[in-house]
Amino acid sequence: MHFIRRPSWALKESAVTPEHLALNRRGFLRGAAALSATAIPGAAAAQGNFLGKLFGQADVSQYLDFPPFEPKPALNPEYADAGREVTAERINATYNNFYEFGTSKTIYAEAQVLPTDGWTVTIDGMVEEAKTIAFEDLLKAVQIEERVVRHRCVEGWSMVAPWIGFPITELNKLVKPLSGAKYLRFESFDKPEVASGQRSRTSPWPYTEGVTIEEAQNELSFLVVGAYGKVLHKQFGAPIRLHLPWKYGFKSIKSIERITFTDERPVSYWEELQAREYGFWANVNPEVAHPRWSQATERVIGEVEQRIPTVIYNGYGEQVASLYAGLEAKYADRLWR
Ligand SMILES: Nc1nc2c(c(=O)[nH]1)N[C@H]1C(S)=C(S)[C@@H](COP(=O)(O)O)O[C@H]1N2
Ligand SMILES: [Mo]
């Protein structure tokens, strides 16, 4: 591992506003309770540094205690090595964004109350065979593998995760999409009775996301059902979440209940809140700054924190660049936010 000296133009940690502080700007959060959660600029970033010092000291083992994923899936040789060290499980699983359970990075304890028994996934819209399928039955119907990939949050931090799951294309044989379908829309749960972050109804719950059919059919578009050899940790978005390693992390929606094939471009949770900052495409690009901070570098979360240059498409251009050929002129920098 080499260390890169921070250039003068690189952003300072304190300059980055966590996603949730952006909500304030459009007046979505109203009232004293909401304000108190957002009134400490830089608090979450400071907490990140502070946590770095705590890693290895706090006993978080009970929040990592998930059963092994069985049968053990084969490692996809194409994605056996992310070119960086895999983030330690206890670090990755205690530094999360999951706003349903609060706006801090340390929601790992709160997220344990998410009920995942009896989970079903509805796949509907422009398909020949719409269905609601028990999560266990879905697992039996698809080819599961393990892959190690990079994850880059729009806030400027990154990790490497060993996910267990299956490419979205595996859904095709289950529901047979119609030729007119142009997008996939994903919807998470809405359970304010268990998810404390959803009790404030000023955000457009449930969390939703969307991609084009072409993006969904890319080999990198992955539905995650396990991590670190285990059944998926609740804080990672159990029992099933999306992972799109070439896009900013907010696209990778957690705890999916519904997947809809549609001919209308979905408007996501974040796009509804702050379209200028969290757009539909959200492809990782170091050259296009977020309106409020640079995306040129990223902080690699780990035992020893490093700041490294961010790479276009998070380094997955070989797989995805062709998806955007010709679109740059049409969408300009909107492809990158
Ligand atoms: N349902 C839901 N999905 C979500 C989020 C969320 O708040 N709710 N946060 C997103 C963001 S901003 C990021 S960076 C990743 C974080 O995934 P991780 O906790 O596995 O690192 O989840 C994404 N998916
Ligand atoms: Mo994120």
* Superfamily name with CATH number, domain 19-335: Oxidoreductase, molybdopterin-binding domain (3.90.420.10)
Q: How far is the centre of ligand 1, averaged over its atoms, from the C-alpha of 128 (Å)?
A: 31
What's the pLDDT at 283? 97
Residue 158 CB less than 6 A away from ligand 1 = no
User: By CB neighbour count within 10 A (0-12 exposed, 13-18 middle, 19+ buried), where does 78 fall?
Assistant: exposed
- Residues 6 or more apart in contact with residue 296 via CB below 8 angstroms: 9, 10, 11, 286, 287, 289, 309, 310
Express each pLDDT in 192-212 by its tens digit. 999 999 999 999 999 999 999
Q: Is the CB of 250 under 6 A from ligand 1?
A: yes
Query: Collapsing DSSP states into helix, strand and coil, what is residue 335?
Result: helix
Backbone angles phi, psi at 259, to 5 degrees: -125, 120
User: Ligand 1 centroid to 135 CA: how many Å?
Assistant: 20
- Tell me the average pLDDT across 80-107: 97
Domain locations in the chain as residue ranges: 19-335
User: Which atom of ligand 1 is nearest the CA belonging to 248?
Assistant: 14
Amino acid at 96: N
Provide the terminal-to-terminal Cα distance of the chain, rounded to the nearest Å: 29
The DSSP code for 258 is E
Residue 42 has a pLDDT of 39
Give residue 254's pLDDT.
99
Q: Give mean pLDDT, residues 289-318.
A: 97
The atom number, within ligand 1, closest to the CA of 188 reads 1
Which atom of ligand 1 lies at the shortest distance from residue 206's CA? 1
Q: Measured from the CB, is residue 251 less than 6 Å from ligand 1?
A: no
Q: How confident is the model at residue 317 (pLDDT cuts 50, 70, 90)?
A: very high
Q: How far is CA 198 from the centre of its chain?
A: 18
Task: Indicate if the pLDDT at residue 297 is higher than 90.
Answer: yes
| CB of 96 closer than 6 angstroms to any ligand 1 atom | yes
